[in-house]
Chains A and B, each alone.
Chain A
Amino acid sequence: MIAPEHLRGMPASPGLADGPIFVLAEMFADERAAGTPEDERAALKGAIAEASTGIADLMGQSGEEGAAILEFQLAMLEDDALAEPAYEMIAAGASALAGWRAAMDAQITGFETADDDYFRARAADLADIRDRVTAILTGSAAQTVPPGSVVAGEDITPSRFLQTDWSRGGAIVLGDGSPSSHVAILARARGVPMVTGIGKADFASHRRALVDGGTGNVVLSPDGEAEARYRERCRIDAAQRHLAEAHLLKPAVLADGERVQVMVNIAAPEDVDAIDIASCDGVGLMRSEFLFHGETALPDEKAQYLAYRKVLEWASGKPVTIRTLDAGGDKPVQGLTVEEANPFLGLRGIRLSLTRPDVFKSQLRALARAAVYGDLKVMLPMVTVPEEIDEAARLLDGCLAELIGEGVPAKRPQLGIMIEVPAVAILPERFARAAFFSIGSNDLSQYVTAAARDSSAVARLNTAGDPAVLHLIAHVAGEAKRLGIPLSLCGDAGSDPVLLPALLSAGLRTLSVAPTALGRVKSAISQIRP
């Protein structure tokens, strides 16, 4: 019998899981030493040939439009000139993977910086080719995660998370990664237990794991004692869940009876299909990035309009806050964001939108059209100076005038801002022209603590529980009250039972949380006497 191994990482998404371990192949790929140049050359040649066959097969199953795109990808792959720089790097000692990625990244950058939209849009095809061959080289192409598995590895990509079937349980345990990563946000939204930053562990020599996403405890090859403790945790968890369910459909109130608004954060219009509108006070944050992750180009106005309208109709008159595109940082968008050495401090959020009025205006037009269908509020991310609000308001008014001129029904939504840049949190009165404030506690914490969200090494520093972050939140709450500006908080701090009392004491009365946290948060609020 294999001895149990107890590990402790950062809790990234609460919940308990007991399942077979599934080791992600990428973990080994990164560590795989390069073979001889001959081996690596053969490996790349083989992977390209396999990818070509895969695309040819796919062409047979695709419609005319899809087949034409694939035909282009196939022609590129079959042209020896594509991998030539990679073969040169391999001859000089690089691994097949390193050579291939460098060659393709250079190609992709070339397309991304083209003057012409048609050529720029092809960057996505090149990225598709790059990833297809990479998947074959790393052996991850054939990997399908069996449902119910505890997925273990160095890190996991958002696309891998989304491809996995979580309907029958399972969990994620990562050697690296961070509770603030986007995969962690997805995991919390789906209710998948997740632990990050566990360090080096030999997952492959174990077959089963117990995971407690709430505490960060993981036991590999559990013995009887570990199992008994796990059962006890499950019992307590079930009791808490029962309490949460009892609160789910009731309005949130503090112990003294004062009402608290609890809204939901959503990432895609389909998310609302699983939420009972009666269980929340509206949408406090709808992210709009999902629309910008298509394979080809940026979404058009109509696709956006339909997505926003769906959520507004579902909300049946309750407020819906939609955040304009928050690309950049750790959320690159093909054909829009730029490569930067310091992306979290770079061209992201409203900064990026204002440099691309063509893209921004199609979003504002879609929002103004959807506003007819409910109580829409539009929120600008990463605002740093008041002029950014003026600029956005000017563009919004322009879009509205255009729409009216075209005879298209439209309405001006309220325009508010995220408070996530310390410059705004320190002097909120400069931003009094905003119709509302919403504290983005995740980014505010990373900027106040100077600890990046995507770094596991500094994840312990990056917490909204830091006294300086809580002090700023309380300051913003006081200023918002004085200025008469509605305030909410839409970061993860709002669903953290440890931080909730401090947030409510600071004066916050509107929180927006992951849909899976609604009952739990309401139950916790009912115990608090601020």
Chain B
Amino acid sequence: MSVPAQSTKVLMIHEAGLHARPSVKFTKLAKRFGAAIEISAQEEGPWIDAKSIVKVMATRIPKGTMLHIRATGEDAGEAIAALSALVEQDFEDETVEGGA
């Protein structure tokens, strides 16, 4: 019997969107949890694996996107809380990567 997915949504406020360094942080954090975690830029999907930086980068989520996060598994609740906090805190006030 499958465990119902838990989900939340959080506004991307990082200047560069879900870009290189934010993606590194996001996927590293996601990998700490046993739960299957997926993200999407729309409520109806498509959903992509939040633990794969290649897939997260390929989605190219810009600033101002409402990021949907859903997770299934034992620590799904904690995973969602931790990941949405990371986005809300703007990836710990990381400075924007310049173009140079």
A residues touching B (Cβ–Cβ < 8 Å)? 68-69, 71-72, 75-76, 79-82, 107, 110, 114-119, 121-122, 125, 294, 296-298, 300
Contacts and interface: CB of A to CB of B under 8 A. Distances in A.
B29 interface: no
B81 interface: no
6 contacts: A68-B21, A75-B23, A81-B55, A118-B97, A121-B99, A296-B100
Contact of B99 (A76, A82, A125, A298): A298
A79 B53 contact: yes
Contacts of B49: 81
Given A68-B21, A116-B17, A118-B19, A75 B28 contact: yes
Interface in B69-100: 97, 99-100
Interface stretch (B4-12, B36-44, B57-65): B57-65
B16 interface: yes
Contacts of B55: 81
Interface of B: 16-17, 19-21, 23-24, 27-28, 49, 52-55, 57-58, 60, 62, 97, 99-100
Contacts of A297: 99-100
A296 B24 contact: no
Contacts of A69: 20
A355 B27 CA distance: 37
B53 A116 contact: no
A118 B99 CA distance: 6
A119 B60 contact: yes
B28 A116 contact: no
B94 to A, nearest CB: 9
B97 A75 contact: no
Contacts of B99: 117-118, 121, 296-298
Nearest to B52: A81
A110 B54 CA distance: 12
Contacts of A110: 58
A72 B54 CA distance: 10
Contacts of A119: 17, 19, 57, 60
Given A117-B99, A118-B17, A71 B62 contact: no
Given A117-B99, A121-B99, A75 B24 contact: yes
